Structure 1
Amino acid sequence: MGIVFLYIPMHRPNNTISSLAILIAASPVLLLPACSSTQQASEPIACQIQETISLKNVYRLTGKLYSGAEPTDRTAFEELASMGIRTLISVDAIAPNASLAGEYNIRVIHLPIGYTDISDQRIKELAFAIQSSLKPVYVHCHQGKHRGPAAICAGALALGMITHDQADAFMTKAGTSESYTGLWSAVEGVEKLATIEPMPLSEHTPARTISKTMSKIIKQKDILDELANIGFNAPINQDHSPTAIASQIHNLFRTLETSGEAQEYGEEFMDDLEHAIQAASNLETVLRNNDAGLAMDAMDALKNSCSRCHDKL
């Protein structure tokens, strides 16, 4: 129970005014629209931090635990440092820039997870990483909406820091899609660990090739989304032109098609992958022909194809 102090002016007979402090018991609130400096650091909360120049979808689970999107440049690491972050836990397939993080006295831990599950071993590693690391801790995936919030909740649940209701509320607030049923089920199944065993933690944990390739595709698609918002106007740097990025996405999908790992996901996945290759090729063609009208339709087709493949991973 929290205590709220209300000061209500009371008129005395001599017309002087005093303040009557009334104590009102108030139930703690899990979801808040903004972070309050008066909240206890130990209270599980889910408040969004105001977005800065580079960091997106930043939410605070407790006073010392944050989740958010990937820090992609020096500005992002400067912003993390300004938040006081001392440990960065990445659950993305691609390891973060440990060298750049080190310049800001931020330790990097790489514990990649997919979209379909979080293994028991990975949950133990997340719990140990959160417990043993210098605080505050920032857990990130790519967009900061799905794997990151699920991972930080799984680790916190294993440590007994939050309840399942609070985990559900946090993931909902952070935007974790209901379509990633494996992430939700994994978090739902986490129980508090009786003991937290020490284990090695690395700045770079090898991930499957298909996971790393899909991460690269998603990042390129996000850049293309930004260019689509300005009419696919090509920047001065032609390596980052819409056509060049579409070509990179096309080649990455073709790389997946020839990998043995892709075959493991079955015939339906391979069919979806073929549609994605065709969609990427079509987008590359219309952009090369400077057909902005068809480019938006081709972009939508590529997004749909990406989603079908992505959901199966």
Structure 2
Amino acid sequence: MTPSKLCIIRVLGWSCVFFAIELGTVDTIADDSVSQERTSALENRIQIHPQLMSGAAPVGEKAFAELAELGVKVVVSVDGQRPEIELARKHGLRYIHIPIGYDGVHDDACKAAAALTKQIKDPMYVHCHHGKHRGPAMAAVIAQSAGWLDRKQAIELLKRAGTGSQYAGLWRDVDGFQPQSISAELPKLVEVAEISTLASHMVDTSLQYEVMLDSMKTNDWKVSDVRLLQEALRESHRVCNEEMRPWMHDSVRLVHAMESQVERKDFQELRESMARLKQACNQCHERYRN
């Protein structure tokens, strides 16, 4: 790799690898940086600009300590879950919460991105849950708003992050980004944004579903985990709209049946139930989330 393609930049006392893009291609990070990424507590972390990174949600002391060590001062969450503001403050970090869906980066979020670039001059870390879809999309909008990436480079960022092609709205809004007008009224940046009750319950459902996926890998199933997933789905069913209600109801019944499957240790039936649950979730997501 030539020096023209990859520059090591020291900014504000922190060493970082600049996310260099040339002629529409994303260069590979140097071998020593790859090794560092493998031991990182921050999954799917990408250095986009000396003042901007994206990745998965920081979890626990180690992740927030790593952010502080990297020189990050502001953590931007686009996830529906309440940010860990107390843990962030403990490590000298400020949280800004701009929740978005998988359906795209809406206009209010684009205005918030513009507010970020105008008001925040410190290094930022943008995250969703996994760090592959919503987070990189928001980071791409922020980078375009700041003039750090052009449209072609922003699309390359999504490709590198592994943003799913099924989330057409995210790709659309990054590709179709338009800077805010000078007269645009920009929103106030807040630590914890108000989110809909359904969105909050769906976050809980998603997190518990991942616990079940881990159980499936090891056949270490627990009735308590099944009940937590069932409860999250029940709460979602309670507040969802009429069209979603039959799908939610079917999912609740399906997960309820999994309790006895766990007790019988019927691993094959559990795998089939998880496959049916995934199919039911995808059916709903195609209409309301993607």
Which residue pairs with 1:213 in the alignment?
A: 201
Partners of 1:68 and 1:148 within 8 A in 2? yes
Aligned-residue sequence identity (percent) comes to 27
Measure the CA separation in 1 of the matches of 2:35 and 2:73: 19
SS at 2:37's partner residue? coil
Equivalent residues in 2 for 1:85-234 (5 A)? Answer: 85-195=72-182, 199-232=187-220
Which residue pairs with 2:8 in the alignment?
A: none
Equivalent residues in 2 for 1:224-263 (5 A)? Answer: 224-232=212-220, 242-259=222-239, 262-263=240-241
User: In the alignment, residue 43 of structure 2 is paired with which amino acid?
Assistant: K
Partners of 2:24 and 2:153 within 8 A in 1? no
SS at 2:92's partner residue? coil
Partners of 2:24 and 2:152 within 8 A in 1? no
Partners of 2:73 and 2:122 within 8 A in 1? yes
SS at 1:281's partner residue? helix
How many residues of Structure 1 are paired with residues of Structure 2 in the alignment? 270
SS at 1:298's partner residue? helix
Q: CA offset at residue 30 of structure 1?
A: 4.3
Q: Deviations over 1:98-126 (max 9, x none)?
A: 11001111110001011112221211112
Measure the CA separation in 2 of the matches of 1:141 and 1:225: 19
Q: CA offset at residue 273 of structure 1?
A: 2.1
Measure the CA separation in 2 of the matches of 1:48 and 1:302: 37
Q: CA offset at residue 134 of structure 1?
A: 4.4
Measure the CA separation in 1 of the matches of 2:59 and 2:51: 22
Which residue pairs with 1:305 in the alignment?
A: 280
SS at 1:50's partner residue? helix
Q: CA offset at residue 176 of structure 1?
A: 0.9
Partners of 2:261 and 2:269 within 8 A in 1? yes
Q: Quick one: higher RCO (CA 8 Å, sep 6+), 1 or 2?
A: 2
- Give the stretch that moved more between structures: 119-128 or 145-154: 119-128
Q: CA offset at residue 53 of structure 1?
A: 5.3
Match of 2:45 among 58, 61, 73: 58
Measure the CA separation in 2 of the matches of 1:306 and 1:134: 40
Q: Please give the TM-score of this superposition, normalised by the length of structure 2.
A: 0.83
User: In the alignment, residue 233 of structure 2 is paired with which amino acid?
Assistant: F
Q: CA offset at residue 97 of structure 1?
A: 0.8
- Bigger fraction of residues in helix: 2
Distance 1:299 1:98, change over 3 A: same
Q: Deviations over 1:170-215 (max 9, x none)?
A: 1111111111111111222211234376642111001011111111
Partners of 2:111 and 2:186 within 8 A in 1? no
**Structure 1 unaligned runs (5+)?**
5-26, 39-46, 234-241
User: In the alignment, residue 283 of structure 2 is paired with which amino acid?
Assistant: R
Match of 2:254 among 279, 290, 297: 279
Q: Deviations over 1:220-271 (max 9, x none)?
A: 11122222222225xxxxxxxx321211111111112221xx21xx52x333
Which residue pairs with 1:290 in the alignment?
A: 265
Greater C-alpha Rg: 1
SS at 2:138's partner residue? helix
Measure the CA separation in 2 of the matches of 1:130 and 1:282: 50
RMSD: 2.7
Distance 1:309 1:109, change over 3 A: same
User: In the alignment, residue 228 of structure 2 is paired with which amino acid?
Assistant: Q
- Give the stretch that moved more between structures: 87-96 or 250-259: 250-259
Measure the CA separation in 2 of the matches of 1:163 and 1:36: 27
Distance 1:218 1:180, change over 3 A: same
Distance 1:116 1:34, change over 3 A: same
SS at 1:108's partner residue? strand
User: In the alignment, residue 257 of structure 1 is paired with which amino acid?
Assistant: H
Is 1:270 the counterpart of 2:245 in the alignment? yes
